[in-house]
Structure 1
Amino acid sequence: MFEKEIDFIRDIYQTKDFIPLHEPRFIGNEKKYLNECIDSTFVSSVGEFVDRFEEDISKFTNAKYTVATMNGTSALHISLLISGVESGYEVITQPLSFVATCNAISYCMAKPIFVDVDKDTMGMSPLALEGFLNENAIVKNQQCVNKFTGNIIKACIPMHTFGHPCRIDEIKDICDKYYISLIEDAAESIGSFYKDKHTGTYGQMGLISFNGNKIITGGGGGCIITDDEILAKKAKHLTTTAKVSHKWEYTHNMIGYNYRMPNLNAALLTSQLENLGTFLSSKRSVAMAYKEFFKDKPYGFVEEPTNGHSNYWLNAIILQDKEERDLFLYETNSKGVNTRPIWTLMNKLPMFKDAQCGNLTNAEWLEERVVNIPSSVIL
């Protein structure tokens, strides 16, 4: 049934071999910088490349401060902690997300609340967020209180799904109105912009992932970006085991985390970042080819939203129903073309099945229909 789709994907990647969903590309100074890092002997959490990478990310995103971490999940965990999220608090997020988002909330002993997404962005819906808060929350002493649980709703984590920006400016206005800290899950959206601002720079903090399946990678890695100097300093302190600076003494003044990015990972990422423009251009070309091919199909290709400039990290199509989705997944994977469904909704997982939810109509609709198709950079 999907022979033409499979043939088209093979034509794009010009191969009869297995086509992965997204694989890294190493075309620059990766080996050179790794050798320099090894020769320096600074291969762990201190070194020139960590500092250089933080500076480069700040320049690219126009964020004042960047704190490199070992992965995106650790970046989110620290962001929540320094936002004051702790046991008994609640955090609003979206159910259509990778599990790491909710895991980080749980690390803080807080509870997630799920509100719906918009169909066009697949990210948090401002209307759903405001509707939930109007019905379920009140503001007391500059804190947002859940009327039904009595707990403080401390933070909100929208995600820029597959690199497509959500309506983050509207979400920010709502969070400000309700005294809720805004933390952007920009894990997938390096190189994506909304109204000419890089994703992750609207909230108090944003986080980016550099896992092996991202557009640029250090094999692992993540970072926090922010314009708040106090938050940046606290994040760096916490991610380096809260060690007080001293020439020889080991003194720690709070519970810290060994979350600092190793210099080896930073060396790889520094080189990858030098070619990010090339990668983004290639990914847009691939996305436009998909858009043209799928325009006459009875199902849709997911495009960047109005006012958004997407990195098209993972291209996606929306099938007509779950039955057609499953058939597409079966046929493509059976013929060596790696495709994947969107995530199972977080509120359906056993760890979060008792979480408070708003109306999740759009998320449920997307869950049954969205499929990611091969999205690697073509050189």
Structure 2
Amino acid sequence: MSSIENMISLVRDHYSTDKFIPLHEPRFRGNEKKYLEETIDSTFVSSVGVFVDRFELMMQDITGASKAVAVVNGSASLQVALRLAGVKQNDEVITQALTFIATANAISYNGAIPVFLDVDLDTMGLSPKYLGEFLEEFGELREDGCYNKSTGRRIAACMPMHTFGFPVHLDELSALCNKWHIPLVEDAAESLGSLYKGKHTGTIGLIGGFSFNGNKVVTSGGGGAIITNSNELGTQAKYLTTTAKRPHAFEFFHDDLGYNFRMPNLNAALACAQLESLNDFLIDKRKLAEKYAVFFETEGIKFRQEIPDTKANYWLMCVELNDKKEREEFLTTTNAHGIMTRPIWNLMYRLPMYAHCQRDAQKNAEYLEERIVNIPSSAR
């Protein structure tokens, strides 16, 4: 049999089914139904309820952050995180083109403009090397921050994304951002449970955002979270995402442009039950990753693994094929046999709304775009 057929057999054996196998589906094997019933019985199903508070405390405990704020989805978490970092209309935010659309959209929602820099081959995330080269060529420090000499716009933030849960080189990125007075905002949407040198992703930058979409390691159906080690920013995050309403027994007074980004208590109930199972999910997924690693090494195919000093959550596992033609054959054959696989995202500057954005050569991003394929990664 071919390598692809062997992989199909491995996946079907692992999940013990001859039916369609999705890329990543949620598992509900804890208190999900119990907590949802409690929420319904309480009648507090919307944005106020005990599970919202519990979810925020659980996220603080899991990540080690000083403050966590529940929001409606991961995109909202990034949008508000950037605003809290000081991003304003016509500013620039440095990020990567090899990412999910939400990263770039969150920048645009703030009226800012993305600058796309290349990724590292080992992490598939924003490269300190290319960030440093860009800032040396285009960066200019002024009294109120760093500016892009080629556009005249302020570089208000740098937002790397931890691709598929693999942490980027955060120490090097942090050092560069500190040198150039640029706030570091982590797009940690895919990396719940991932560690960099023992610290949870999202806690090393000024602020971080997570997603709890239906295909994540832990899901609330739809939901997100903002985390930070700044109590002041955390308080402001909670205020802005709950419509910027001043507390009062009965009056509605809003004194800033806030957002109705509140996570409903129903979603928070689901999230709390899921977070209780997080460690079990991570253990189960790591066992699958180890099985894949052994298999693909035998087949002569590169299986992407965590780098030293990091611990990945292996949210979406992936292989790196030799070229685009081999990638297409892999995708076509697996999907034809009921095994869901998918290519990595189209690079952001290939999309019409971001085609005008400044970027560098993107050698690594384009290399990975032609070769990376995600494979079934669900906990069993």
The structural deviation recorded for 1:6 is 1.3
For residues 93-104 of structure 1, the aligned pairs below 5 Å read: 93-104=95-106
Structure 2 partner of 1:225: 227
Q: 2:136 is matched by which residue type in structure 1?
A: N
Q: 2:117 is matched by which residue type in structure 1?
A: V
Q: 1:225 is matched by which residue type in structure 2?
A: I
**Partners in 1 of 2:139 and 2:301 — Cα distance?**
38
Structure 2 partner of 1:145: 147
Q: Pick from 24, 33, 44: which aligns with 1:31?
A: 33
Q: 2:171 is matched by which residue type in structure 1?
A: D
Structure 1 partner of 2:77: 75
**Partners in 2 of 1:248 and 1:184 — Cα distance?**
37
Residue 176 of structure 1 aligns to a residue in which SS?
helix
Q: Pick from 323, 326, 341: which aligns with 2:325?
A: 323
Structure 1 partner of 2:111: 109
Please give the per-residue CA displacement for 1:246-290, whole angstroms capped at 9, x wherever unaligned. 000000001110001110000001011111110000000000000
Report if the CA contact (8 A) 1:69-1:260 is conserved.
Answer: yes
Q: 1:229 is matched by which residue type in structure 2?
A: N
Which blocks of at least 5 consecutive residues in structure 2 are unaligned? none
Aligned residues: CA RMSD: 0.8
Structure 2 partner of 1:338: 340
Q: Pick from 9, 21, 26: which aligns with 2:11?
A: 9
Structure 2 partner of 1:120: 122
**Partners in 2 of 1:168 and 1:72 — Cα distance?**
21
Structure 2 partner of 1:209: 211
The structural deviation recorded for 1:87 is 1.2
Residue 138 of structure 1 aligns to a residue in which SS?
strand
**Partners in 1 of 2:261 and 2:255 — Cα distance?**
17
**Partners in 2 of 1:168 and 1:261 — Cα distance?**
29
**Partners in 2 of 1:203 and 1:359 — Cα distance?**
26
Deviating beyond 6 angstroms after TM superposition, the runs of 4 or more aligned structure 1 residues are: none
The structural deviation recorded for 1:315 is 0.5
Structure 1 partner of 2:191: 189
**Partners in 2 of 1:200 and 1:233 — Cα distance?**
17
**Partners in 2 of 1:349 and 1:23 — Cα distance?**
28
Report if the CA contact (8 A) 1:115-1:360 is conserved.
Answer: yes
TM-score by length of 2: 0.98
The structural deviation recorded for 1:297 is 2.7
1:270 matched to 2:250: no
The structural deviation recorded for 1:3 is 1.3
Greater mean deviation of Cα atoms: 198-207 or 134-143:
134-143
Structure 1 partner of 2:88: 86
Structure 1 partner of 2:311: 309
Q: How many residues align?
A: 378
Q: 2:243 is matched by which residue type in structure 1?
A: T
Structure 1 partner of 2:356: 354
The structural deviation recorded for 1:299 is 2.6
**Partners in 2 of 1:11 and 1:118 — Cα distance?**
34
Report if the CA contact (8 A) 1:206-1:226 is conserved.
Answer: yes
1:375 matched to 2:367: no
Structure 1 partner of 2:137: 135
Q: Pick from 54, 58, 61: which aligns with 2:60?
A: 58
Residue 43 of structure 1 aligns to a residue in which SS?
coil
The structural deviation recorded for 1:60 is 0.7
**Partners in 1 of 2:177 and 2:43 — Cα distance?**
45
Which blocks of at least 5 consecutive residues in structure 1 are unaligned? none
Report if the CA contact (8 A) 1:142-1:179 is conserved.
Answer: no
Structure 2 partner of 1:261: 263
Q: 2:50 is matched by which residue type in structure 1?
A: E
Report if the CA contact (8 A) 1:188-1:208 is conserved.
Answer: yes
The structural deviation recorded for 1:359 is 2.2
Please give the per-residue CA displacement for 1:127-149, whole angstroms capped at 9, x wherever unaligned. 11111111111111141100000
Please give the per-residue CA displacement for 1:12-67, whole angstroms capped at 9, x wherever unaligned. 11211100000000001111111111111111111100001100110110001000
The structural deviation recorded for 1:366 is 0.1
